[in-house]
Amino acid sequence: MIIVLIAQRKEKLLKWILNKEYRDISSINVIKKDHVKVFLYIETKLTFHEIERLLKQSISSQSDIDYVYQFYPLWNGLIDYAPYLSEGKKLKHKYYQQTQKAITEEELKDFFENY
């Protein structure tokens, strides 16, 4: 599963995420870093919400202050800021129909060829 971490302090959060082992996650790999965004490939059978919960617990257990950050799933190469919307609504929504993707098929192909 590919998820996106968005945070100003992404490097610190990423360090905390990557330095811990998770029982139900085989691996976590960085696909791409873009400004305040980090695209992560997480090898697991967990759902997005289960992954999000685990990673948030990991961050909070290693930090003594609260950081502002958010995890999002991907939908059709775009960051899914509204994962609660139905597929039908996404197909009609202007944001989800844009041609410029947050991560391209080429970037994903390059990552998986070298994975």
DSSP for 57-85, written as a single string: HHHHHH-SS---EEEEEEETTEE-S-TTS
Question: What pLDDT was estimated at residue 65?
Answer: 87
How much of the chain exceeds pLDDT 70, in percent?
Answer: 100
Give, for all 115 residues of the chain, the pLDDT tens digit: 999 999 999 999 999 999 999 999 999 999 999 999 999 999 999 999 999 999 999 999 999 888 999 999 999 999 999 999 999 999 999 999 999 999 999 999 999 999 8
Reported pTM = 0.93
Domains in the chain, CATH or no CATH each: 2-114 (3.30.70)
Question: What pLDDT was estimated at residue 90?
Answer: 96
Question: What pLDDT was estimated at residue 83?
Answer: 94
Question: What pLDDT was estimated at residue 15?
Answer: 96
Segments in the chain forming alpha helices (H): 10-18, 48-62, 87-92, 105-114
